[in-house]
Amino acid sequence: MKDVDHKELDRLLQQAFEVASELYQQRGFQRRVGFGKRPALVSVDLANAWTRPGNPFTCDQDKMDNEIIPGMQKLLSACRANGHPVIHVTTAYEITDRNASFTDMGLWHNKIPVDVVNLADKDLWAIDSRIAPIEGEYTLLKKRASSFHGTELAGILRANNVDTILVTGVTACACVRQTICDGIADGFRTIAVKEAIGDRVPGAVAWNLFDIDAKFGDVHTVDECVDYLNTVNGAAAAAE
């Protein structure tokens, strides 16, 4: 990966996006879902196994340290100042013996090393201390890519009258994408927070955010989302 010319890759991807945008727009794609009146922040897998070096799941550390974590800190600050719900999502498994006759890993361990994220080692699946949950925030443990699949997430959001989810985390090509896809299918306005989403592979974030923006949610910058979080209460009250 060190030999990849990231600037050239970005240039080629941008060319592809421009061509794809013309096709999408001609066919009625790239519509806007928009911000709603009651947001929640859903942070996907920003736990140590993904955010720190030395794990098979480790993501791009430069982006993690210089964009994703600082972006999350801004979003958390805005949510906490304005009373918006925050759900931290992580992943771990209790029966990680690949030869066991029964396991909570499904068959996913036959494709990727989910067996390394053992529930017994809390440090692996604990949310990164730089963005650690505070009292009143919820930590959700999932077993699948989507934060909605087989979890209580949709019920919690609906019980708290949430209509908009701001989704951050890793990885763009899997858990973040699947969470956004299921989120809009379940009736939530889905917002992907551009600088707060990462991956392991060069180009994966840019391509997935482009495709998400065309089909499954709106992509907005951290600053745009922070402005929304800081003003939505007043805007919602004025509209009622």
Q: Using CA of residue 26, residue 28, residue 29, residue 34, what is the dihedral sign? A: positive
Rounded Cα distance, 138 and 117, in Å: 20
Q: Within 13 A of 159's CA, how many CA atoms are on the CB side?
A: 5
From 59, 79, 173, 175, active-site residue: 175
Q: Sign of dihedral through CA atoms 121, 148, 182, 129?
A: negative
| Bond before 171 cis per omega within 30 degrees | yes
Instruction: State yes or no: is 175 an active-site residue.
Output: yes
Using alpha carbons only, give the angle 91, 97, 117 rounded to the nearest 5 degrees.
25
Instruction: Just list the catalytic residues.
Output: 175
